[in-house]
A = this chain, B = another copy of it.
Amino acid sequence: MGDIGGMLRIKLSNRARQTPPSPIRKLAHLAQRAKRAGTGVYHLNIGQPDIESPEEFFEGLRLFKQKVVAYDLSQGNEALCSAWSRYVNKTLGLNTSPEEFLITMGASEALVFLFMTCCDPGDEVIIFDPTYANYIGFAAASGVTLVPVLSDMERNFALPPLEEIEAKMTNRTRAILLCSPNNPTGTVYTDTELKFLLDLCEENNIFLIVDETYREYVYDDLEPLSIFHLAPRNERVIVVDSLSKRFSLCGARIGCLLTTNPEVLSVTLNIAQARLAAPTIEQFASAYMLDHIKDGYLEGVRREYQARRDTLYQALSSVPGISAHLPKGAFYVIVRLPVDDAERFAAFMLEDFSVNGRTTFIAPAAGFYMQNSKGRQEARLAYVLERPDIEEAVKVLEAGLQAYPGRV
C-alpha cells in the first residue's frame, strides 16, 4: 500500500499482482500497434486455427429455436454429453457413457475444477516443463503448487526418466498432469510412456489427468491414442477434452472432463453449480455438430496440419542458428533461437522490424517453463497458417534474426 498523490492506494492481492500475463498474449498490444501502423502480422504466436469451423456447427446454430436462452444443466446439456460420448466411442473405439462427462467452458475450466477437486491449497501436481502456460495460471487461481520435471529438447521432449519424476513426488502430490499431444512442444507420448505414468500413479495412489485437446492431431505413422485405450475404467484417470482445436471452435468455449470416477464427478458438479452452466447455444450447436459431422472431416484437417508441419520444419531447417525438433502432434513446435532473449527478440520483431510491410509474431518460450530461465532463448511457433504464409513468416523471421542487435 503506497501513498500516491495524497491518496492511499487500495490494496490488491499479492496473488493477482504476481499473476504473470499469458506469454501467448502478453505482447498482443505490440502486435495491435504494428497493425494500426499498417504492418501485416504473421501470427505464429497463438494456437488459433485458420481452418474453417465445420458447416455442421453453423447448421446447429441455425437450428436453435428456443425462445428463451435459458441456463442449461450445470453438468452440461444432456444432448451434448450423449453426442460427445457417442462420438468418442465411434471414432476411438471407447466405451464411455454420457453421465461420465461434465461439460465445461473450454478445457481451461475443466482444469481449474480438477485442481480444486484433487488439491487443497498447497497440494502439488506434477507437470512436465515446458508446459502449457495457462496451467500455471490455473494453479495460481486454485492455490495449487505445480512441480515441474524438465523434459529435454535434445530428446524431443520425451517423458523424463523415472527417477527424475519420482524424485519430485512428496506426500502432498495429488496428481500428474500430462498434455498429449503436447502444447507447447508437439511431442506425442507413447503408450509405453502413458502406461509408465499410470503405474506410477497407481503406486502412489494419485490421479492421472490427461489433457487430450489435440488427440487427433498426430502425424506420420501415429494413431490417436487416448489414456482410456490403456485404462478404460480406471477411476484414477481423468481426461480433459475440448472442441476448440479439433473443430476450429476456440471461441465456442466448449470443453469437458471425462472420468468413470463417480466421486470426482459428484464433487466437481458441486463446484460447477456455483458458476451455473456453460453457454447454452454453443452447447446446442456442438451437440448437433458431433452427431452430424462427416467421417472424413478430421482426417482432412489432420493431413493439412501434417503438411504445414512439414513446411514449417523444412523452412526452419534452412535458417542458420535455429534448432528445432520434429513435432509429432498438435500444431506447435519449440525452437531455440540464436538470440540473447527471445522475448526481447519477439518485441523487436513487432516494434522495429518488417519486410515489405510484414512481420512475424512468435511466443517467447520462457513463459512456458516453470523454470523461466530455461526457455530464455526459445520460442513456441504455432503452424496454424496456410503453407505459403508459413514460408513467408519464416523468411521474415530469418531476416529479423539477421537484423536483431542481440543475436548471439
What residues of chain A have their CB less than 8 Å away from a CB belonging to chain B? 1, 8-17, 19-22, 25, 46, 48-53, 57, 61-62, 64, 67-72, 74, 105-106, 108-109, 112, 116-121, 123, 134, 136-138, 140-143, 174, 205-207, 235-236, 248-253, 261, 263-264, 267-271, 273-282
Contact = CB atoms under 8 A, between A and B. Distances in A.
A137 B274 contact: yes
14 contacts: A8-B205, A9-B263, A12-B267, A13-B118, A14-B120, A16-B267, A57-B69, A109-B275, A134-B273, A134-B274, A134-B276, A140-B274, A252-B280, A253-B277
B16 A70 contact: no
A49 B68 contact: yes
A271 B25 contact: no
Nearest to A268: B16
Contacts of A118: 12-13, 16
A273 B106 contact: no
A71 to B, nearest CB: 5
A49 to B, nearest CB: 7
Q: Can you tell how many copies of this chain the complex includes?
A: 2
Contact of A25 (B74, B207, B263): B74
Residue picked from A16, A250, A275, most chain B C-beta under 10 Å: A16
A21 B281 contact: no
Nearest to A271: B19
A249 B69 contact: yes
B12 A205 contact: no
A72 B204 CA distance: 41
A120 B274 CA distance: 20
A19 B69 contact: no
A108 B14 contact: no
Given A106-B275, A235-B10, A16 B270 contact: yes
Contacts of A70: 48, 250-251
A48 B69 contact: no
Contact of A71 (B69, B134, B251, B278): B251
Contacts of A57: 69
B22 A273 contact: yes
Contacts of A106: 275-276
Given A10-B206, A53-B67, 12 more contacts: A8-B205, A11-B174, A13-B116, A13-B118, A16-B267, A105-B279, A108-B275, A109-B275, A121-B121, A134-B273, A250-B276, A281-B281
